[in-house]
């Protein structure tokens, strides 16, 4: 049976690639992308809905689907502050998850990060860890968490630290002890997320970096 998928964060590096993968996937009949601005996609499977993420609760019916793929994310630089970044990286995604659960979504798939840890001193990793904990407490039939390292791909916004990392890390990761930090392309992560949605799985699964390289 063709199923319906919701994608938030569809304009991001992984989210954009994921929509492409889902549009080509035979088990997906319809894809709803929730975005802050209009986004056109050539596939007849893809339907875009512009929403105000500060008021997601005004649109509960948009979360009536089989899958929710959550790929939202920003940086302190782009958002302006840690507090504003947290609103995107944690609050918006958790609100979307709650709405999806109430609308009967069966499978929740979250793009997180390697080393996500709610106790971390790093604000980014702390936010990712906190979101994982909050999501894991929700009674979805199935939850899949994906933990990539540095993402490679062509972003719309320039991120100097990531650009430098994309040059340096592949060379450094030849060293065995650093392999767990090796970069991965957004395309590879999106492929894994789409593939997992087609397979049977456990109630909660965590896909670490090594898992994301394997289909």
Q: Which is it for the CA torsion 187, 191, 197, 201, positive or negative?
A: negative
CA gap 166, 22 in Å, rounded: 26
Phi then psi for residue 84, to 5 deg, are -70, -35
CA gap 102, 71 in Å, rounded: 20
Instruction: Report DSSP letters for 95-148, one per residue.
Output: HHHHHHHHTT--EEEEE--TT--TT-SSHHHHHHHHHHHHHHTS--SEEEEE--
| Residue 118: predicted pLDDT | 97
Contact criterion met (CB below 8 Å) for 90 and 127: yes
Q: How distant, in Å, are the alpha carbons of 48, 71, 124 from that of 42?
A: 11, 21, 34
| Residue 169: predicted pLDDT | 47
CA gap 112, 102 in Å, rounded: 22
Q: Which entry of 124, 126, 134, 163 is annotated as an active-site residue?
A: 124
Q: Which domains, ranges and CATH numbers included, belong to the chain?
A: 3-151+185-209 (3.40.50.720)
Q: Give the closest residue to 97 by CA, choosing from 20, 36, 17, 9.
A: 9
| Residue 135: predicted pLDDT | 98
| Residue 153: predicted pLDDT | 62
| Residue 66: predicted pLDDT | 98
Q: Which entry of 128, 134, 192, 204 is annotated as an active-site residue?
A: 128
- Catalytic residue check, 192: no
Indicate the pairing of strand 151-152 with strand 184-185: parallel
Q: Give the closest residue to 35 by CA, choosing from 204, 185, 156.
A: 156
Q: Give the closest residue to 184 by CA, choosing from 215, 137, 148, 155.
A: 148
Q: Which residues pair with 7 in a beta bridge?
A: 33, 69
pTM of the entire structure? Answer: 0.88
Q: Which of the residues in the chain have pLDDT under 50?
A: 155, 158-169, 171-173, 175, 177-178
Contact criterion met (CB below 8 Å) for 132 and 164: no
User: SS3 sequence, 45-97?
Assistant: CEEEEECCHHHHHHCHHHHCCCEEEECCCCCHHHHCCHHHHHHHHHHHHHHHH
- Catalytic residue check, 134: no
The residue written with tokens 């991120």 in the block is: 159
| Residue 167: predicted pLDDT | 45
């Amino acid at each position: 049976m063709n199923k319906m998928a919701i994608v938030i964060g569809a304009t991001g590096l992984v989210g954009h690639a994921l929509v492409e993968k889902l549009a080509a996937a035979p088990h997906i009949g319809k894809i709803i992308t929730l975005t802050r601005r209009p986004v056109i996609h050539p596939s007849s499977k893809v339907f875009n809905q512009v929403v105000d993420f500060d008021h997601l609760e005004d649109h509960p019916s948009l979360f009536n689907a089989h899958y929710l793929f959550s790929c939202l994310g920003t940086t302190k630089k782009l958002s302006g502050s840690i507090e504003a970044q947290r609103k995107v990286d944690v609050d918006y995604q958790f609100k979307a998850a709650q709405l999806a659960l109430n609308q009967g979504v069966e499978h929740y798939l979250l793009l997180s990060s390697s080393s996500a840890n709610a106790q971390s001193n790093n604000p980014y990793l702390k936010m990712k860890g906190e979101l994982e904990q909050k999501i894991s407490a929700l009674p979805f039939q199935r939850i899949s968490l994906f933990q990539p390292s540095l993402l490679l791909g062509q972003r719309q916004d320039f991120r100097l630290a990531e650009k430098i990392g994309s040059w340096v890390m592949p060379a450094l990761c030849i060293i065995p002890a650093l392999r767990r930090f090796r970069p991965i392309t957004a395309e590879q992560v999106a492929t894994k997320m789409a593939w997992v949605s087609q397979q049977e799985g456990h109630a909660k699964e965590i896909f670490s970096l090594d898992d994301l390289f394997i289909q």
